[in-house]
Structure 1
Amino acid sequence: MTTQASKTAAATAHVIPLRPAGEQPPAREPLWRDVLGDVLRRERLAQKRTLKDVADAGRISMPYLSEVERGRKEASSEVLAAAAAALGLSLAELLVLVQKELIRLASRTYTRVQPARVQPAHAQPARQGEVRLAA
């Protein structure tokens, strides 16, 4: 049962949007695994080969290769090298194709942003008990 007070409060409630009206959400940076999968699939289809054919040639399970192509799995370098070889590419050639595609996608969706200046860990002496992580 609702009361008159709750009806009045509901009628006067205001919604505050997280973004101004009409503003688009920020573009999502393309993920490595998605771009890699797209490149693998594009190369396979350009050669008119089936998923089974490439999986067998690379000694990769067909379901796993399918997951990699769909960007659902992060493949190891060994799997990527095997898939590349099955497509007649070296691992380096595959990575160059992925890099070019990443650059193409990023240039379409992002404006250049100046990277934040990062202070090297060695610039200041560590204090006792301080933990520093290197990336």
Structure 2
Amino acid sequence: MAEITHPLKPAEPADETPHETREPHAPRRPNPSAEPLWRDALGHCLRRLRLERGETLVETSRRAGVSPQYLSEMERGVKEPSSEMIAAVAGALDVTLGDLTLAVATTLLTAPARTAPAGVTCQAAYALAA
């Protein structure tokens, strides 16, 4: 498979250690060794991009038109943001929605592989996606 070069580098692997500061109402994944969720990978990419720019939550959220609390929740993988919210934050970070999506997808593709349960095939996954 050809290597894809891209201006956004893949995010560092997620820390799998439980965090005591997580809100009690925040969703938890039942199996911490499972592949990361889209919202988790998105959050890691957004935080990495913001920190690379040397910005605070307030600075980035102001340009994106979202509250700092909402941006923080996006970065922590607590929220399932709409495509409009993702596009607004991507724009505030000076990346295209396509570039951000590719960075998140690359992060997910490089995450540790998870074995599918018995009987689950790619055809079943395609049927669900349709």
TM-score w.r.t. structure 2 length?
0.65
Distance verdict in 2 for CA 1:76–1:134, change over 3 Å: closer
Which residue number in structure 1 is paired with residue 114 of structure 2?
A: 110
1:102 and 1:67 map into 2 onto residues whose CA distance is 19
Q: Deviations over 1:91-134 (max 9, x none)?
A: 111101100111111xx24368895144x98xxxxxxxxxxx87
Which residue number in structure 2 is paired with residue 80 of structure 1?
A: 86
Which residue number in structure 1 is paired with residue 95 of structure 2?
A: 89
Tell me if structure 1 keeps the 8 A contact 2:64–2:88. yes
The percent of aligned pairs where both chains have the same amino acid is 44
Structure 2 residue matching 1:66: 3-state secondary structure:
helix
Tell me if structure 1 keeps the 8 A contact 2:61–2:68. yes
Q: Give unpaired runs (5+ residues) of structure 2.
A: 1-30
Q: How does 1:43-54 map to 2 (within 5 A)?
A: 43-54=49-60
1:29 to partner: Cα distance: 1.9
Q: Deviations over 1:42-83 (max 9, x none)?
A: 010011111100000111111011100000000000000000
Which residue number in structure 2 is paired with residue 33 of structure 1?
A: 39
Structure 1 or 2: more helix by fraction: 1
Distance verdict in 2 for CA 1:70–1:26, change over 3 Å: closer
Residue 30 of structure 1 aligns to which amino acid in structure 2? Answer: P
Equivalent pairs counted in the alignment come to: 97
2:103 and 2:55 map into 1 onto residues whose CA distance is 19
Distance verdict in 2 for CA 1:32–1:26, change over 3 Å: closer
Q: Give unpaired runs (5+ residues) of structure 1.
A: 1-24, 122-132
TM-score w.r.t. structure 1 length?
0.63
Distance verdict in 2 for CA 1:57–1:134, change over 3 Å: closer
1:26 and 1:88 map into 2 onto residues whose CA distance is 32
Residue 76 of structure 2 aligns to which amino acid in structure 1? Answer: R
